[in-house]
């Protein structure tokens, strides 16, 4: 009888040892993160308040000096036309100045000088007139014309605000459809904001000087922003 009691006691102690119960040796895994991830977008439409014109003056001569002097004379007239049109000197920038030898059948026949200038022009409604004046002053190539805004920061903030609201609205729809409620924001990442410029190609812009008077329609620009938001529920 004592032997039987001893065996039962050993079995009872054995059952109390943790390793004898596999389910007690391993903690239950945590529940997966309860997250909703969405992308919100925002768009602000505005009238452009600035134009960027990139044009060039190309001249040629038998010598490099002759070509450079011709270019300088024409550019003086171009600069005067810009100042007369209300462009400040700080808004006139030479971006390239190149001198190229010209060959004919491997024989040097002269030189060509190319000066490329970028102008910031704030009288957006008179861009066409400005192009006509530049053409009359001697500009013989227009590489690019684009419109933008100098209120970029202001419009970006509005677009971002719209993007965050859009993200929240999308998350609420998803949460409601899943039968849960949004608890808070886990993270927000800005996707960026950019106003696509209205740009005319080199060929189109070069042809503007042949039309009198030149009409340019600035239209509107769109500043777009996006955010990636993760919500908990």
**164 closest CA partner among 38, 37, 40:** 40
In CATH, the number for domain 48-148+199-218 is: 3.30.70.2970
pLDDT of residue 197: 55
pLDDT of residue 210: 54
Which value, to the nearest 10 degrees, does the dihedral of the CA atoms of residues 122, 123, 127, 130 take?
-100
Q: How many other β-carbons are positioned within 10 Å of the β-carbon of residue 57?
A: 24
Q: Which two tokens stand for residue 222?
A: 């769109």
pLDDT of residue 109: 96
Q: Compute the distance between CA of residue 141 and CA of residue 135 in angstroms, rounded to an integer.
A: 8
pTM to 2 decimal places: 0.69
Q: How would you write the pLDDT of the chain (233 residues) with one tens digit per residue? A: 544 455 454 445 455 444 444 444 344 344 468 999 999 999 999 999 999 999 999 999 999 999 999 999 999 999 999 999 999 999 999 999 999 999 999 999 999 999 999 999 999 999 999 999 999 999 999 999 999 999 999 999 999 999 999 999 999 999 999 999 999 999 999 986 665 555 554 544 445 555 456 778 788 899 999 999 999 99
pLDDT of residue 13: 47
pLDDT of residue 191: 86
Report yes or no: 160 and 193 within 8 Å, Cβ to Cβ.
Answer: yes
Q: Which two tokens stand for residue 53?
A: 């014109």
Q: Compute the distance between CA of residue 228 and CA of residue 195 in angstroms, rounded to an integer.
A: 19
**143 closest CA partner among 65, 57, 63:** 57
Q: How many other β-carbons are positioned within 10 Å of the β-carbon of residue 4?
A: 8
pLDDT of residue 19: 44
Q: How many other β-carbons are positioned within 10 Å of the β-carbon of residue 112?
A: 16
């Amino acid at each position: 009888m004592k032997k039987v009691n001893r065996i039962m006691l050993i079995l009872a102690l054995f059952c109390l040892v943790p390793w004898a119960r596999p389910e007690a040796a391993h903690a239950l895994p945590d529940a997966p993160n309860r997250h909703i991830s969405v992308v919100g977008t925002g768009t602000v439409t505005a009238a452009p308040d600035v134009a960027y014109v990139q044009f060039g003056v190309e001249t040629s001569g038998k010598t490099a000096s002759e070509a450079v002097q011709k270019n300088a004379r024409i550019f003086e007239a171009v600069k005067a036309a810009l100042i007369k049109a209300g462009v400040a000197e700080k808004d006139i920038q030479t971006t390239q100045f190149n001198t190229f030898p010209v060959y004919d059948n491997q024989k040097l026949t002269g030189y060509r000088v190319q000066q490329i200038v970028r102008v910031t022009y704030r009288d957006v409604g008179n861009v066409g007139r400005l192009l006509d004046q530049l053409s009359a002053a001697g500009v013989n190539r227009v590489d690019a014309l684009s419109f933008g805004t100098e209120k970029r920061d202001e419009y970006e903030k509005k677009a971002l605000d719209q993007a965050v609201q859009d993200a929240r609205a999308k998350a609420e729809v998803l949460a409601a459809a899943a039968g849960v409620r949004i608890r808070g924001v886990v993270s927000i990442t800005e996707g960026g904001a950019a106003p696509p410029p209205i740009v005319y190609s080199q060929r189109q812009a070069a042809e503007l000087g042949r039309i009198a008077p030149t009409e340019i329609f600035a239209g509107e620009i769109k500043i777009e922003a996006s955010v990636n938001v993760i919500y908990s529920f």
